Structures are given as C-alpha cells and as structure tokens.
Structure 1
C-alpha cells in the first residue's frame, strides 16, 4: 500500500455555505443548557442516550464537520472542539459520544481515497448517521478475513464509545495473514454483530459497550484503509489524525473541570443565604475556600492555555498540508500530549476538590456533583497521565517522536 495522503480539507471560508462558528456555538450552549436541566437524574438512570442523540441530530450538530456542499454544517475543527467543550461542562458523557462521532465520521478523509470519503460523508449527512467505535489498538485484535468478493470480521472489541446508539461502527481490525491494521466500517444491524452495554461507574451516557463480531459481513468499500504507523505507509499529514483525535479528549476534560468549578461556585454562593443555615461550613469569605478556588482556577486556566497552543499547532499542521515533515508532526503531537497531561490533572483534581469545597452536602445524589469526579476518573483511565508525561520527557531529552495513538 502506498503512503497515505493528506485528508481532504474544507473549502476556504469564503466558499463555505455553512452557518458559521457563532451559530454552532450558540447551538452548543443551548444544547448544554437543555442537558443541564436534568443531568443528575439522567446520569443516575444510566439509560442508553437515544433521546440525547435525537436532540443532537435535530440541532444539526451531528453533521457539523461534514462539508456544506455534501449536506453538512461546513464547520472546522476549532468549532467542533469548542462544541465538545461547551457540552462537556454539563454532560461529559454526551460530549464524549459527540467527540467520538466527530472523529470517526471525519476519519474517512484521512484513511481512504477522496472519492470514497465523499460518498461516505454525503450519505452520513443525508441519513444523519451517528458514529460509534474506536481505532485504538487492542489485544487480541479483530480479524478481517477475505471471503468471496468481500470480507468477514471476527473478534470482540472490549469497549467502544457510542455503540449502543450508533448507525455506523468504525473499528480497527487486522488483515488475516499480513496483520496490517485497517479501519473498517460496519452497520450494527448486520448479521453477526452483537453489542453488550458496558457497566462503567463513569461516562455512563457515552453509550459505550463491548462489540462482538461473528463473521460479520464487510464489503470492499467498507475497508477504509491502513492504520499502520510505518513511515512508508502513513504520511506526516495523515498522521495528524492522532493529535486531532486526542485533542477532543483534552477539550472534554477541560469542559469537565470548568463545569465542576461552575457548579461548586454556585453552591458556595447559595451557601451565604440566611434561609440555608444547614449548608456546610465555609463561606465565600473563608480563606481556605478562596485559596482552593484560586488554585483550581489557575490549574484549569493553565491547562486551557496549553490547549490553545496545541490547537494552534494542529491548525498550523493542517495548513502545511503535504509539506508537513515528520519532525513537525512530532512537535505538534507533543503539544497535544502536554495539553492532555495538564487537562487530565486539572480534571481529576478539580472534580475531586470541588466536592471538598461544597462539603458534606456534595454527597447528595440529588445534586449529582459526584458525576463530575466519576466521569473524569473513568475517562482518564483510558490514557494514563504517566504515559503522557513520559512521552513529553522523552521528546524533550532524546528527541523521540511520540507514539502514533488513536482514540479508544
């Protein structure tokens, strides 16, 4: 297989017919407000988010990244990141589902031929597909075997986001024989596909689950292309899929931290009210409370600043196109790695210490403040911060390129 090419880019802003960034941010905040009205109750119930996905579909957010000329929203990655972050502040699980959908629905541009990518995106927009799955390497891998004019897919993927509500699954598999990793698209309604809900303590509304493929049929057009990280297969520009996908996780974690701080602040301010004498000790004038809010605000905004730098690096890499070098790609990837590590720490510390600020009242299931901590902890387990710090250090000291890692 030849070297993968640069993913096709959206038309210049002057040629787009999409509504624009301001429109999508308005829609995202309206969606977040709607989700916030009953977030604790929905999270506690833990039902598959069919209604939430219907809301995303109705708002147009599912087709946000698809070019306008193909029937989509015509938006860019910075807009998609901002949408995920806004929604994560109230419902991180739905933000994870949406972010995974964005990456998987966009990935056809990166891992297949332009004509096939266009057909996939056009149909995805027309039928309002919600995508689920993931391209992270796993052991044992799914196996893709040639059969007749197509293929069959076999194996079990232990966890994949969005699969309970997805219209299309995009997964990583290895070709039988040469073990080449490839991206594969499968309809969840196909024979041989069985999905079991995951029993997670956090991110429960991300519609995650285990997927078993028992000789599930796959056409030749549903095998998108290679996911191999070898230099003779993956070009630096196509390798940007890794930092692009990982930056979605960063935005989700930042939204979690900001949402937890915002809710804790609301309860702290309400605690001053004379008609709530039973609220926990610690008023807005308490030095300990002020210091804690100061520390968490600084930590979260520091992570946001690194994230802005990472986003700029990714945008510069996309602008470089086929001129991007492997060294430049590595520098972009490290920017995202540093943002990942900082956002992970900010989310974990903020969502934990926000409970301390509110005090014993935060143990109330009705308030649902614990969901922030559980969601942050469950999400960060998939990519431990220790690995990110090690990769950043290895790059700084030895110039080692970070590993090519795709989102789970």
Structure 2
C-alpha cells in the first residue's frame, strides 16, 4: 500500500466568501510584527495574554474561520493555518493560543448538526468569543450526568490551552449513564467553573494554559455538540477528520517557531553583533561551519514545510469532500499529517537548540531572548510527542492499519 496522497484538490478561491487570503495574510503579518516588538518582554513577564487576545480580536483574526454570512471572516483552513504559522514566527505561545481557538471554535461543524453549528458560530462571531480547552484524554475524565432539563458537568482537567482568557470552553466529557465521550461547550463565567493558572510551564507561558474544575455546572442540550467516539460505527469520516485537522495546527506551530528562531539568528549573524551590545561580536558570515549549520537547518525546515504542504492539501481536500469522505481516505490524510508532525517537530527542536550554538555563549543573555524559542518548542513537543505518530505511519505502511480516530486540540 502506498503512502498517503491527497484525495482531491482544494476548493477554489471563488467558492469562498469574505475578504480573501491575501487580506488575512497581510493582517497576520501586521499582527505578528506588532507582537514581535515586545515579544521578549511579554514572554519574560508571563502574564495572562488578555492584551494579546485583544490585539487578535481587533485585527479580526478570532472570527476568521466563521462564514461571512454568519458574521465572520469567511476564510478557509489553509488560510487559518498560514495565519497561525505567521503568528508563531513572532510568538509561539500566541500561535498555539490562536490555533487552539480556531480548532475549538470550528468543532461544532465536526461534531454537531448544521443548525447547531450555525447558531454557535453566529453567536461566537457576534460576541467575538475566544475559545479554550481541548478534547484530549484526561487522567480522570469529566463526567456528564443527566438531570431535569439537561445535564450537569463535573470533574477536573489538569491542563488545557487558552482557558485563562477564554470566553467559551470546549471540553471532552464522558456521559455517566452510557460511557459515550461527548464534546461539550461551556461558558467560562458560568457558576461552578473554576479556572486556575497553575500550569507553571517553563515554555509556552502565554498560551493561557491552566487547570479547569467543574462543580455541578449546568449544561443544556445545545451545549452538547456531539460524539467524540473513536468507533467507526458511531463517528462519521468527516468527524474523524477532526484529529488530523487539529494536529496540523501543531505542525504549523512547530514550523513557525523554527522559522522564527532562524530569522532572529540570521539577523544577529548579519549584524555581526547584538544591536544593544556592540561588544558581543559574532562569527564571520563567511565561516564555513556557520554556513553549514545554517544550510542544514534550512534544509530541515524547508523539507518539513514541503511535507506539510502535502498534508495541508490532503486535509483541505478531505474537508471539501464532506460527507463523501471515506474512512480509507481519512486514514490516508491522518498518516500524511503524522508524517508532517514528525518532520516539523524535529525541525523545531533542532533549529531552536542549534540556533543557540550559532550565537554561542551570548545566546544565554536574557536580553537577547533566544531561549524562549527553545523553551516554547520543547514544552509544546512534550505535550504533543510524535513517537506514537511514527508508529501509526509504520503500521499503516507495513500493515495497512488505520490510525486511531481520536480528536484532539
């Protein structure tokens, strides 16, 4: 059996509404430039990113994926991925926050009925919601128990992205009477919701991660988006596509961090010294060892980027097929995304570590702030390890086995 290929091409630009890809990429670059001006100071302060979310909201980026007829930007997933990557070049933590928001704010379309998805997205656009949370497995799952008029949600999730600044939380909960996993959306201000900024990670400090506790939180029927079952008899191929769509956000984030650190290291090397510390010279830009290192890291990052482009084309093609998508096609897409994950993770880890070697001992300066790239990349890859993805690729290549149908964010 061959390795995954795109099942179909992307929809054309004319099939979409809204300002268009060029507009959003320009907005993303302007926002990234704005974030870059104080990236080191903000990261070192480590405050909850309310100001950063306000910048994203004012730029219109929070509603980018919502259809224009529902009050959003009308963009597609390839555009959203490009925006996440552009933001991650300047600030990996805010890139993660935004990417998680895109996936969760779109989750009603994966798991819910069209009418429910439209209601959720229309309100999200009107009120400019920022979404946080995630659907990954927890050590002690949240439980959803029936009660008169709906449900109650109980339990604790030890870490979820974006929860410190989120207006809405999208979470995985197990239905108490049947054991079925469900996607649930909850107002973060609802009585019984407690959010703590207790993550204390050494990287991705501005991703607004923390723990969330739910104490008999009321949940109405419209707050239950749909099933998160991994059973092919329950979940549709389109809903199963949620996993590779979400994981491709992680790929773009890793590539953005790799590209960001290489851009800063290159600027330092070209200048010949740190702009704020002329006494700190750097090696000659004609140093063969320096050129070889830049060459190796450029090849590594560009190779991962090329593989990511193939995965993006496959994901977009799968979304375009909609209900016509098959499980075999979903498996092909998932495997191609897994390959991109492995390549992008390696590119991020090697680039962010070896960039420090390029600069040398001067990179230890907190004023330079290069360490934030390594800390951000290492933290993210600890939460999103790729060893099991490589096993999925190998099992698919050798045995034709489908990867697990597990959504995440």
Query: What TM-score range do you get, normalising by the shorter chain?
Result: over 0.9
- Deviation per CA, 1:289-332, whole angstroms, max 9, x where unpaired? 00000000000000000000001111221222222221111010
Distance 2:52 2:396 in 1: 41
Cα distance, 1:404 vs structure 2:
2.2
Cα distance, 1:367 vs structure 2:
1.2
Give the secondary structure class of the aligned counterpart of 1:89.
Answer: helix
Q: TM-score, normalised by structure 2?
A: 0.95
Q: Does 1:202 align with 2:203?
A: yes
Verify the 8 A CA contact 2:268 2:274 in the aligned structure 1.
no
Structure 2 unaligned runs (5+)? 1-9
Are the structure 2 counterparts of residues 390 and 221 from structure 1 closer, same or farther at C-alpha, using a change threshold of 3 Å? same
Verify the 8 A CA contact 2:194 2:212 in the aligned structure 1.
yes
Cα distance, 1:166 vs structure 2:
0.5
Matched residue, 1:113: 113
Matched residue, 2:302: 301
Distance 1:273 1:372 in 2: 17
Distance 2:148 2:177 in 1: 16
Distance 1:193 1:63 in 2: 25
Are the structure 2 counterparts of residues 148 and 258 from structure 1 closer, same or farther at C-alpha, using a change threshold of 3 Å? same
Relative contact order, CA 8 A, sep 6+: which one is greater?
A: 2
Matched residue, 1:241: 242
Matched residue, 2:7: none
- Deviation per CA, 1:255-281, whole angstroms, max 9, x where unpaired? 000000000001111116999763255
- Deviation per CA, 1:124-145, whole angstroms, max 9, x where unpaired? 0000000000001112100001
Give the secondary structure class of the aligned counterpart of 2:206.
Answer: coil
Q: How does 1:76-155 map to 2 (within 5 A)?
A: 76-155=76-155
Cα distance, 1:111 vs structure 2:
0.6
Matched residue, 2:259: 258
Give the secondary structure class of the aligned counterpart of 2:280.
Answer: coil
Verify the 8 A CA contact 1:150 1:218 in the aligned structure 2.
yes
Are the structure 2 counterparts of residues 17 and 268 from structure 1 closer, same or farther at C-alpha, using a change threshold of 3 Å? same
CA RMSD, 1 decimal = 1.7
Distance 1:119 1:46 in 2: 35
Cα distance, 1:252 vs structure 2:
0.5
Distance 2:278 2:147 in 1: 71
Distance 1:12 1:218 in 2: 39
Are the structure 2 counterparts of residues 354 and 15 from structure 1 closer, same or farther at C-alpha, using a change threshold of 3 Å? closer
Distance 1:321 1:148 in 2: 36
Verify the 8 A CA contact 2:231 2:405 in the aligned structure 1.
no
- Deviation per CA, 1:167-212, whole angstroms, max 9, x where unpaired? 0000000000211000001111111110011211110000000000
Give the secondary structure class of the aligned counterpart of 2:388.
Answer: helix
Matched residue, 2:341: 340
Cα distance, 1:163 vs structure 2:
0.4
Are the structure 2 counterparts of residues 277 and 50 from structure 1 closer, same or farther at C-alpha, using a change threshold of 3 Å? closer
Q: TM-score, normalised by structure 1?
A: 0.95
Cα distance, 1:406 vs structure 2:
2.5
Matched residue, 1:4: none
Verify the 8 A CA contact 1:272 1:284 in the aligned structure 2.
no
Give the secondary structure class of the aligned counterpart of 2:320.
Answer: helix
Matched residue, 2:398: 397
Give the secondary structure class of the aligned counterpart of 1:345.
Answer: helix
Distance 2:50 2:237 in 1: 38
